[in-house]
A = this chain, B = another copy of it.
């Protein structure tokens, strides 16, 4: 047995024993050490770099590791075999991509604007923010030797009077609190009740002297990132906002690899635990702390996520989603409770799941469609969610059709060597001087934040700049030389945006031809999907009047540049609107408004799914779109004009 020591920039070492010959990435998984491995250990993405700091390991040099890096001790974990005792450092770039948990500063109006906006729009569309939760006071007589009614009957008796309903159930959680709270409060209490089918459920009980509110939690479980808001169920006020990387990331960057991992022995529990115990529960705990409440005061939760994510979250085998005939276990389902799933909120809180419409279009899109508002417009509109996959919904108040395309995770920084999410340290916009080829960029974060990597909007910018400055060809190959242009031993070119001296990184922040190729295929998938979808409806982009772009690409997205590289159709820029995380804002509406919830259910039932691969010309369309901007440049008159 060999002793493997994982070291971190911050925090304590993790030590585990492994057999000789074992794969280092597998050992790390066993030790619960999160190493990014978007390709699931196929030696293809080069993300799982670790640094040898003691002992030796059997690991060849590959194109992902330069000779200089190799000399410094960098190795790909997935390409390393244990040969004896060894110590490795998990570099910070990995932690940055994994993204540390973030509890938002709600004093920043930007953080909550999206929720205030959507509340207004949804209410105006006739879906009021009313739900089944309320807080009522019950002032009871104290028991005496002549009045020995038990605590639960005493409360029920009073609530029957207060609520005008005699069908009152007391949850087990509330029952366990009753005797102490009633006596501490001199039998004057406030209770949180939920109304359901002419019944009231007592969810919790507090002394009447306390300021009691019912709280809800809207959650977007993305393949890459989990985001959530804690809300006051009475008025929709945002009390906390948090996010972190999805802890399942170490089991693969995309849904297919996750499903494969779930199929391993114990995989169902492992994947469920990664998203619930290691991701959601810690965020909830921190948000509750920041809002000064107990997690048990969260009485309702609403999850919007893609079909694979909600199956994995629920601990349901997802293997049949990826195998013909691609059948999910559910579109809509009875809500499990906090206790059922092990989510640390009130044990009786129901966890609603935004409805899926198929294996490839899930609750993230149905919830997102609600908050795009396209169902409320007479105009033909497009809603594009640039998540780890790309999904597109087209229609108006009369009809809705949807499709999905395998865009991959490039828009969120996945499949890009220096890619990262749109968080602190991400380069979100960039310009390049055509003459000197020197870049000017802005970085997300406080004044003086050094760059760590590139987020989606930064990648769009740099590809636009490299292309329009004539530094790369329409095929994405470098065609100029200079200080910032490098070629590795395999001949692969790259552009250095920030040398490592100027960055918070162990190596230069650069964009390689492999990255550009990955991105071009991603943008080609989106562009061709839009066109094929419209074609299948006998329409074209000239009929579009509004386009809503959502997803983790970052609010810094420059629509003009996105159009000019052939990612989005060349229609007037004012038709485009970036709406942020529509999945989360949709979940927010669904938890606050019973009518919005019903509307999503209605939309999901009426939305038609179009399978793009059934279109005979789809592959040709996709190939044609894998150029800058497109093999048919006439589709992009705006660029021509430039």
- A636 part of interface (Cβ distance < 8 Å): no
Given contacts A151-B330, A316-B179, are A172 and B325 in contact (CB under 8 A)?
A: no
Given contacts A151-B329, A329-B178, are A183 and B314 in contact (CB under 8 A)?
A: no
Pairwise interchain contact B153-A331, C-beta atoms closer than 8 A: yes
* Residues of chain B lying within 8 A (CB to CB) of residue A178: 316, 329
Closest chain B CB from A268 CB (angstroms): 8
- A336 part of interface (Cβ distance < 8 Å): yes
Pairwise interchain contact B340-A347, C-beta atoms closer than 8 A: yes
Once bound together, how far apart are the Cα atoms of A180 and B148, in whole Å? Answer: 52
Pairwise interchain contact B169-A317, C-beta atoms closer than 8 A: no
Pairwise interchain contact B320-A183, C-beta atoms closer than 8 A: yes
Pairwise interchain contact B150-A329, C-beta atoms closer than 8 A: yes
Task: For chain A, give the interface size range.
Answer: 35 or more
Pairwise interchain contact A329-B152, C-beta atoms closer than 8 A: yes
- A124 part of interface (Cβ distance < 8 Å): no
Once bound together, how far apart are the Cα atoms of A169 and B336, in whole Å? Answer: 11
- A264 part of interface (Cβ distance < 8 Å): no
Closest chain B CB from A341 CB (angstroms): 8
- A326 part of interface (Cβ distance < 8 Å): yes
Pairwise interchain contact B180-A327, C-beta atoms closer than 8 A: no
* Residues of chain B lying within 8 A (CB to CB) of residue A333: 152, 170, 175
- A606 part of interface (Cβ distance < 8 Å): no
Contact with B along A169-207 (1 / 0, CB 8 A): 111100110111001000000000000000000000000
Pairwise interchain contact A148-B325, C-beta atoms closer than 8 A: yes
Q: Which of A169, A170, A179, A358 has the most CB of B within 10 A?
A: A179
Contact with B along A151-170 (1 / 0, CB 8 A): 11100000000000000011
Pairwise interchain contact A145-B175, C-beta atoms closer than 8 A: no
- Closest partner residue, chain B, to A334 (CB atom): B169
Pairwise interchain contact A145-B325, C-beta atoms closer than 8 A: yes
- Closest partner residue, chain B, to A327 (CB atom): B143
Pairwise interchain contact B331-A175, C-beta atoms closer than 8 A: no
Q: Of B172, B179, B331, which contacts A320 at CB under 8 A?
A: B179
Given contacts A153-B331, A329-B150, are A180 and B317 in contact (CB under 8 A)?
A: yes
Once bound together, how far apart are the Cα atoms of A331 and B154, in whole Å? Answer: 11
Pairwise interchain contact B180-A340, C-beta atoms closer than 8 A: no
Closest chain B CB from A332 CB (angstroms): 8
Closest chain B CB from A610 CB (angstroms): 14
- A324 part of interface (Cβ distance < 8 Å): yes
* Residues of chain B lying within 8 A (CB to CB) of residue A334: 169-172, 175
Pairwise interchain contact A329-B175, C-beta atoms closer than 8 A: yes
- A289 part of interface (Cβ distance < 8 Å): no
* Residues of chain B lying within 8 A (CB to CB) of residue A329: 150-152, 175, 178-179
- A615 part of interface (Cβ distance < 8 Å): no
Pairwise interchain contact A315-B144, C-beta atoms closer than 8 A: no
* Residues of chain B lying within 8 A (CB to CB) of residue A295: none
Pairwise interchain contact A176-B326, C-beta atoms closer than 8 A: no
* Residues of chain B lying within 8 A (CB to CB) of residue A314: 172, 175-176
Closest chain B CB from A189 CB (angstroms): 14
Pairwise interchain contact B324-A145, C-beta atoms closer than 8 A: yes
Q: List 27 A-B contacts (CB under 8 A).
A: A144-B325, A145-B324, A147-B325, A148-B325, A148-B326, A148-B327, A149-B327, A150-B327, A150-B328, A150-B329, A151-B330, A152-B329, A153-B331, A169-B334, A170-B333, A170-B334, A171-B334, A172-B334, A172-B340, A175-B329, A175-B334, A176-B314, A176-B315, A179-B327, A183-B320, A339-B339, A339-B340
Sorted nearest first, the 8 A-B pairs with minimum C-beta distance are A172-B336, A152-B330, A172-B340, A151-B329, A145-B325, A150-B328, A143-B327, A179-B317
